[in-house]
């Protein structure tokens, strides 16, 4: 099932779609006349791919998607979360220091999750995510959450999941009470 998910995910990746468009245009160019004007669509797609891939443009587009979720509406009393779940956004091994550090996305999510945990006095903070590195992202997040003031006994670690689907599956196994109100902290573009 995981291989099917990975294959499907790669086919809906915008970079893959644009690459396919480039290939189609290239073959159209080869089959058609050799006029320079025929290269304009190909040049346009190449510029488009580059433009959407560079840091300022991709950040601006992500911000446009996420801006309405940056300050979520107030949670009603009956909707106050019992558990705050924060999904990993990646970590990096720094070999020279022999340490693993949370990535920028993970750090932003975790800080927001800790704020929500404290604001709503949640029972638990669940740190979720595996890593390809030396230490699971969830363990790195748990350590950082403790440093940010979350009591150790309130932190639950889920170090097995590698994607959003697995995060949900592993979370279901953690708690017997299925009536818990859960606050989820991903990135808006992630959802």
pLDDT digits (tens, 9 = 90+) for 87-127: 888 777 777 777 777 778 888 888 989 998 999 999 999 99
CB distance 86 to 113 below 8 Å: yes
Top-ranked range on mean pLDDT: pick from 26-30, 64-68, 175-179, 186-190 = 175-179
Whole-angstrom Cα distance, residue 63 to residue 75?
23
Q: Is 18 helix (H, G, I), strand (E, B) or coil?
A: helix
Q: Strand 83-87 and strand 124-128: pairing?
A: parallel
Structure tokens at 54: 């560079």
DSSP character for 82? S
Q: Which residue has the higher pLDDT, 147 or 74?
A: 147
- Count the Cβ atoms, other than its own, within 10 Å of residue 165: 12
Residue 190 has pLDDT above 70, yes or no: no
- Count the Cβ atoms, other than its own, within 10 Å of residue 113: 26
Q: How far is CA 161 from CA 53, 70, 75, 97, in A?
A: 28, 25, 28, 26
Q: Which residue has the higher pLDDT, 141 or 9?
A: 141
CB distance 3 to 19 below 8 Å: no
- What is the reported pLDDT for 103? 79
- What is the reported pLDDT for 77? 56
Alpha helices in the chain (DSSP H): 2-11, 14-31, 40-53, 55-66, 104-119, 137-147, 164-174
β-partners of residue 155 are: 125
CATH 2.30.30 at 72-190, yes or no: no
- What is the reported pLDDT for 154? 94
């Amino acid at each position: 099932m995981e291989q099917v998910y990975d294959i499907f995910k790669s086919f809906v990746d915008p970079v893959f779609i644009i690459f396919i468009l480039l290939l189609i245009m290239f073959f159209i160019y080869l089959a058609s006349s050799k006029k320079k004007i025929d290269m304009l669509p190909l040049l346009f797609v190449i510029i488009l791919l580059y433009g959407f891939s560079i840091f300022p443009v991709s950040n601006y587009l992500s911000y446009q998607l996420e801006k309405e979720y940056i300050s979520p509406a107030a949670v009603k009393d009956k909707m106050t979360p019992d558990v705050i779940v924060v999904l990993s956004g990646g970590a990096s091994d720094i070999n020279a220091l022999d340490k693993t550090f949370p990535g920028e996305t993970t750090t932003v999510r975790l800080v927001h999750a800790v704020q929500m945990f404290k604001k709503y006095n949640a029972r638990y903070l669940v740190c979720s995510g595996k890593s390809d590195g030396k230490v699971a992202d969830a363990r790195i997040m748990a350590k950082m959450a403790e440093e940010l003031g979350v009591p150790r006994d309130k932190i639950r670690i889920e170090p097995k999941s590698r994607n959003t689907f697995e995060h949900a599956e592993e979370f279901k196994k953690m708690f017997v009470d299925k009536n818990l109100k859960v606050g989820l902290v991903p990135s808006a573009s992630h959802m």
